[in-house]
Amino acid sequence: MRREKQLSLRRLRRLCRKIEDPRRSWGNKRHELTDMLIIALLAIICGCETWEEIRDYGVTKEDWLRTFLTLPHGIPCEATFRRLMERIKPKSLEKVYRKWVMPYVGSCLRKQICVDGKTVCGVHRRSDEMLHMVSAWVREDGISLGQVRVEGKSNEIKAIPELLEVLDISGGTVTADAMACQKEIAKTIIENEANYVLAVKLNQPTLYEEINEYFAWAREDPIEKKKLDVYQATSFDHGRTVHWKTFVTTDIVWFEGKNDWHSLRSFILVERTRSVKGRISTELAFYISSLDTDAKHYHQFVRGHWSIENQLHWMLDVAFHEDACAAHSGNAPQNLSLLRKMALTCIRKDTSIKASVSRKQKIAGWDNDFALRLLQDA
């Protein structure tokens, strides 16, 4: 293998060596932890989903893998891969992931950081535990900054501050659904030098009612409605027409609870009117924000937040079949979830060919040079 390709793996190998090896120090470690992680990552990039498939990938590609891995005792068996992934401490792997991904993101300045949770359904079908992950997603880069496990969706309230504390979100704007609309979460975001746009629902009944009543009055009052900043947009997709109307006010001195929410500056109303085959429905959504910006920008934040569902969660299920994953014991589900995000990043950052994620996975399985190119800057 050419020297530049060897150098391209140096950073990834160096970071992998920082992962705490869970195997007994006095045991017979026949396989290098770094070798096993890189084989697993490459196998997942190429669409492998089970321990047997990861082993099959290694055996099939062994001659090529030996050009940049040590493999002192050949390719590990599927049980060895399973035991390693069950025992690696997720926090150790996640710390390495955050260091690995930052050069791709650089600064979060003026970027949108979408925070949302996802339940890996396959784990629950095979064990009594529920794997629910909260991820931070940078919309502009299409990259996950990091993840943290929670015991259930209701525990996202505690997990989100924990995740944001370990990420460099300074200069960015964090968007999240109503579960994250909590005073402590808003405080954590501001203390980490970022801004927030948080959805408001009935889990914050007083705040919700105050905003609802204000906009109901302001949109009808001939004087007050002139003070509102308004932006309208229409989208057409798969026979559905959606008309968006966004209203913003920064005149919130009347709100008695203003000082309870760190740096609160704006109330936002988004009215979505859908038309499908002649059937029309309208829904209202409310938000609070620490920003003082116009309605067009808030419209972009609200629509942009869905990128974490469409480009991360949906892709993990469709391209990597995460919900069908049979791994359910130990730390394996959480560690594999992170490796899938890493694989998705490798595929997405490649611009050498124009192809879907699924097509690139197939090409990587056929073409060793392309598979290695996906790790070029890793």
Per-residue pLDDT tens digits for 339-364? 999 999 999 998 889 999 999 999 99
- On whether the pTM is more than 0.85, the answer is yes
Hey, how many other C-beta atoms are within 10 angstroms of the C-beta on 291? 18
Binning pLDDT at 50, 70 and 90, where does residue 25 land? low
**CA–CA dist 247, 15 (Å, integer):** 47
Express each pLDDT in 262-302 by its tens digit. 999 999 999 999 999 889 999 999 999 999 999 999 999 99
Least confident of 287-291, 311-315, 324-328: 324-328
pLDDT score recorded for residue 325:
84
Percent of the chain with pLDDT over 90: 79
pLDDT > 90? residue 154: no
pLDDT > 70? residue 307: yes
Mean pLDDT of 176-201: 97
Mean pLDDT of 136-155: 87
Least confident of 119-123, 145-149, 177-181, 275-279: 119-123
pLDDT > 50? residue 2: no
Q: Give Cα separations from 249 to 199, 203, 272, 298, 376 (angstroms).
A: 15, 22, 18, 11, 47
Domains of the chain: which residue ranges? Answer: 3-96+325-373, 196-304
**CA–CA dist 295, 271 (Å, integer):** 12
Residue 242 is given by DSSP the state: E
Are 136 and 144 in contact by the 8 Å Cβ rule? The answer is yes
pLDDT > 60? residue 126: no
Express each pLDDT in 221-270 by its tens digit. 999 999 999 999 999 987 789 999 999 999 999 999 999 999 999 999 99
Least confident of 116-130, 336-350, 357-371: 116-130
More confident residue, 189 or 131: 189
Q: Where are the alpha helices (DSSP H) in the chain?
A: 3-8, 10-16, 33-45, 51-60, 62-65, 78-87, 90-105, 121-126, 156-165, 183-191, 205-218, 295-304, 307, 314-318, 332-349, 357-366, 368-373
pLDDT score recorded for residue 277:
84
pLDDT score recorded for residue 85:
95
Mean pLDDT of 215-219: 97
Closest residue by Cα to residue 325 from 91, 75, 122, 43: 122
Q: What is the mean pLDDT of the chain?
A: 91
pLDDT score recorded for residue 239:
79
Binning pLDDT at 50, 70 and 90, where does residue 378 land? very low
More confident residue, 12 or 175: 175
